[in-house]
Amino acid sequence: MKEKEFPENMVPIGNGEFQFECHPGVECFTLCCRNVDLILYPYDIIRLKNSVSMDSEEFLRRHTTLCQGDNPFFPTVKLKLKDEGKECPFLETSGCTVYHDRPSACRTYPLERAVDRTNLHGIPEEYYFLTDHVYCLGHKEEKRFNVKSWTRNQKVFEFNVLNDYWAEIDTLFATNPWKGEGAAGEKQQLSFLVCYNINGFRRFAEQHKLLKQFSIDKAVRRRMDTDDSELLKFGFEWLKLVLAGKSSLVRK
């Protein structure tokens, strides 16, 4: 069988152990929260905006910026740093003020996660890579982890589930499903609303009685009233239906 190839200098850590700990006692404490280039995924925004009790629309306006990322047909959302000191807006001298809801990248660090969807059986495979930034002294601490214990310790699971959903939608966006309409046409704006502005999508869904149009399990439907991530999953399926004509949603 052909061995999987990875970019130069990137070797998956597999089941190997690594040495790491991050705590207020390290000399570099909060250094990595300055000049940070932080991409925010849809679930990151839900967690952050709820953590600071803000509507997603207001959150996007105050704390994010759009840029061209890997996908040429859909904008990437990044965290906007404070003008002064170029640091994360959620950083205080005591540390991260949104620690329990910090984004996927902050949570997974010093590991990075990649998911390969190209295998023959269509089953996504995940790989983790160990980063090694010279400024990060956490690598000199004594605690040892492997991928399993680290991701459990950092409560990464729910983020990975939602990020994998998102990766599927992002792959659909990369096929330019709004051909003809061009960028910022109605379908792309709707897609942005679903993915990044969940409170806006909730208002849209209520206004258009969207949820009533589909057969949805009662317990799931109840959760959707209060749980933004449940509504996001519905939104992703709805976008698949609108943009590709196929999804798990069943019309009434």
> For binding to ligand SF4 (CB under 6 A), which residues are involved?
22, 26, 28-33, 36, 88, 90-91, 96, 98, 102-103, 106, 109, 135-138
Q: How far is the CB of 84 from ligand SF4 (least distance, A)?
A: 15
CB-nearer residue toward ligand SF4: 22 or 60:
22
Q: Which is nearer to ligand SF4, 47 or 202 (CB)?
A: 47
Whether the Cβ atoms of residue 184 and residue 174 lie closer than 8 Å to each other: no
Instruction: Report the nearest approach of ligand SF4 to the CB of residue 31 (Å).
Output: 5
The number of beta carbons lying within 10 Å of the beta carbon of residue 113 is 18
The nearest distance, CB 141 to ligand SF4, in angstroms, is 8
- Give whichever of 135 and 226 is closer to ligand SF4, judged by the CB atom: 135
Output the smallest distance, CB 139 to ligand SF4, in A: 8
* C-alpha distances in Å from residue 48, one per residue of 35, 52, 54, 97: 19, 6, 9, 10
- Name which of 33 and 111 has its Cβ closer to ligand SF4: 33
CA separation for the pair 173, 73 (Å, rounded): 6
Minimum distance of ligand SF4 from residue 102's CB (angstroms): 4
- Whether the bond between 75 and the residue before it is cis, its omega within 30 degrees of 0, is no
Alpha carbon distances (Å) from 145 to 43, 127, 138, 187: 26, 16, 12, 44
Which of these, 73, 74, 84, lies nearest to 196 by C-alpha position? 74
CB of 207 to ligand SF4, least distance (A): 33
Shorter beta-carbon distance to ligand SF4: residue 101 or 237 = 101
First-to-final CA distance of the chain: 47
Distance of alpha carbon 192 from alpha carbon 186, whole angstroms: 10
User: In degrees rounded to 5, what are phi and psi of residue 66?
Assistant: -100, 145
* Cβ closest to ligand SF4, residue 106 vs residue 169: 106
